Amino acid sequence: MSGLSAAPWRASFPDAADWDAVLTTSTVPALLDDAVAAYGDSPAIEFRDQRISFRELRAAVDALAAGLLRQGIGSGDAVALYLPNTPWHPVAFFAVARTGARIVHLSALDAPRELAFKLRDSGARTLIATNLPGLLPTALRLLDEDAAGLLLVGDDARWGAGPAEPLPVPWSNNVRPLPGANAPSVWPALDKEDVCVLQYTGGTTGLPKGAMLSHRNLTAAVSMYRSLRESPPVRGGEERVITVLPLFHIFALTTLLLRHVADGNELLLRTRFDVPTLLADISQRRATIFSGVPTMWIALANHPDAPACDFSSLRLCGSGGAPMPFEVEQRIRRMIGRQFYTGWGMTETSPAGTRTPAGEPSTPGMIGIPLPGIELRVVDRLDPSRVLPPDEPGELAIRGPNVFKGYWNRPQETAAAFHDGFFLTGDIGVMDARGLFRILDRKKNMIISSGFNVYPAAVENAIYEHPDIAEAIVIGIPDVYRGQAAKAFVTLRAGASGLTLEALTAFLADRIGRHEMPVALEVRASLPRSPAGKLLAKALQDEEQAKAAAARPADGGR
């Protein structure tokens, strides 16, 4: 099996996409320029009840880009963005791209130590931030620790009054306002193969790694999403898109910012997620598109005001960033009365990967079919040269113009991540005869219990069917008899009286196999999340390992 001609999904779902479309690729600034030419005075962003047109957005981008060039920033440099969801993010993102410098995305929720590591690893000496209380003190600390050499600060008040009072900025030679200047007669020449973004992975298996995403990678992913035949179709220049997912994360960067700038749609830009604002955006501002991570959908489904909301304006809804629990997905479909798209992708794929076809019934773990231009196959976990037939589980391997160039300054890890031109994702999945893919679990998360493979995602899907459970994470813990066994960590819905392990296993008795049954249960007030809202099993695995290490007798105690 090789090449797109071997893709069974094209024959099984001929109307799901324009399969023979030529993917349009460009540079990121050219994507913005094309949007301005087509939609100039239409609203690009609504933020704090202010509207910013496409033309106004580019004027701000060009002024900042010219100011950065005047300060000597350009090709070969790296500039870190330490920004929340305010207009400063798209302005700074497109401006740095215009100069030819690499963009380094920092999470507004990262710990200072991780921020410092990313700055030093990427070589970014210039840091762009805003003067909000949750950001400016940390940015100044990074400067004091010499993790960065220059801090450029955008004034939050530029976009109107917000819920938090901006802080006064201690201006100095190393702390300056965002610069502005008149555009040069000619902008720096850019190549589509240039690295546009260093997007750091979550570091769940070690230190964070910077995925090198080129202009071509990002714009190819946008073209892939636009080549889908969505039902109903996205209407260029007419959609209002809720944008509360963090733009520093690849999911929101590509599927919301870049894709809907290209389509000429209006982004309802929100700094923080809260359900009342989401409900108001839908029922009052008549948003038409909302994509969220599963935790956002779970919060919406559990909110007491959600059943009374008028969801009629919503045309397209989707979830990504992490697997959506099947029972939760079904409950949300019933509540909003709309087709609910899910999919799969990774930082390394920009993050285009798969999408569920319109009208296809959902099943647990289903991620759909590959997007146009993508080759996806299942390979043997120990021998990736062996491509597996339908219905045989293995590791997903992906190839396409959206797949990253490699890990920054990590040639050995880059080489190990590819085989025969395909990126080895670490995700365990299976493809059926029609070309539909399902995810079983992350390769490194798989539990081996009494010689049987146990996939935590499958156990979590069953746990989510319990009426008292709001969220769940399943990990493997040492077991004297089985080698490993499953442990469940859960949070409960409001009003739930409690849950015991005995009650949970009784509930799961006819839902999962005996080898999959959790042997331990821990009820918590909350579960650990990444900055993008994804539940983090790794944090709980680290806790359990620390407990086990503490319980072992010291060598000197013998």
Distances (CA, A) of 537 to 244, 396, 417, 477, 486: 23, 20, 22, 12, 12
Tell me whether residue 67 is in a domain.
yes
Tell me whether residue 181 is in a domain.
yes
Distance CA 426, CA 370 (A): 17
Q: Which of 159, 190, 221 is the last residue of a domain?
A: 190
The two tokens of residue 153 are 């600060």
Distance CA 159, CA 299 (A): 28
Is the pTM above the cut of 0.95?
no
Angle at 92 between CA 175 and CA 107, to 5 degrees: 80
What average pLDDT score do residues 510-531 get? 89
Q: What is the 3-state secondary structure (H, E, C) of 487-545?
A: EEEEEECCCCCCCCHHHHHHHHCCCCCHHHCCCEEEECCCCCECCCCCECHHHHHHHHH
Number of domains in the chain: 2
Write out pLDDT tens, residues 76-99: 999 999 999 999 999 999 999 999
Check: CB of residue 395 under 8 Å from CB of residue 427: yes
What is the model's pLDDT at position 233? 86
Tell me whether residue 503 is in a domain.
yes
Write out pLDDT tens, residues 259-318: 999 999 999 999 999 999 999 999 999 999 999 888 888 889 889 999 999 999 999 998
Tell me whether residue 73 is in a domain.
yes
Tell me whether residue 176 is in a domain.
yes
Please say if the pLDDT value at position 556 is more than 90: no
The pLDDT confidence band at residue 538, using thresholds 50, 70 and 90, is confident
Tell me whether residue 136 is in a domain.
yes
Tell me whether residue 246 is in a domain.
no
Angle at 520 between CA 516 and CA 523, to 5 degrees: 120
Written as one letter, the residue type at 270 is R
Which CATH number goes with the domain that contains 462? Answer: 3.30.300.30
Check: CB of residue 314 under 8 Å from CB of residue 282: yes
Instruction: Give the lowest-confidence range in 71-80, 270-279, 383-392, 458-467.
Output: 458-467
Q: Which of 169, 190, 211 is the last residue of a domain?
A: 190
Tell me whether residue 425 is in a domain.
no
Distance CA 10, CA 297 (A): 30
Which residues form the domain of 136?
A: 28-33+53-190
The pLDDT confidence band at residue 320, using thresholds 50, 70 and 90, is confident
Other Cβ atoms within 10 Å of 416 Cβ, number? 11
Instruction: Give the lowest-confidence range in 47-51, 282-286, 479-483.
Output: 479-483
Write out pLDDT tens, residues 31-43: 999 999 999 999 9
Q: Roughly what angle, to the nearest 10 degrees, separates helices 54-70 and 88-99?
A: 50
Q: Which of 190, 221, 239 is the last residue of a domain?
A: 190
Q: What are phi and psi of 356, to 5 degrees?
A: -70, 135
What is the model's pLDDT at position 450? 65
Summary mean pLDDT of the chain: 91
CA nearest 375: which of 395, 351, 399, 343?
399
Distances (CA, A) of 486 to 374, 521, 534: 35, 9, 20
Name the more confident of 187 and 202. 187
The two tokens of residue 271 are 């700094």
Written as one letter, the residue type at 225 is Y
Distance CA 517, CA 523 (A): 16
Identify the sign of the CA torsion 29, 34, 37, 41. negative
Which CATH number goes with the domain that contains 75? Answer: 3.40.50.980
What is the model's pLDDT at position 185? 95
Distance CA 499, CA 396 (A): 36
**Beta strand pairing status for 340-344 and 316-319?**
parallel
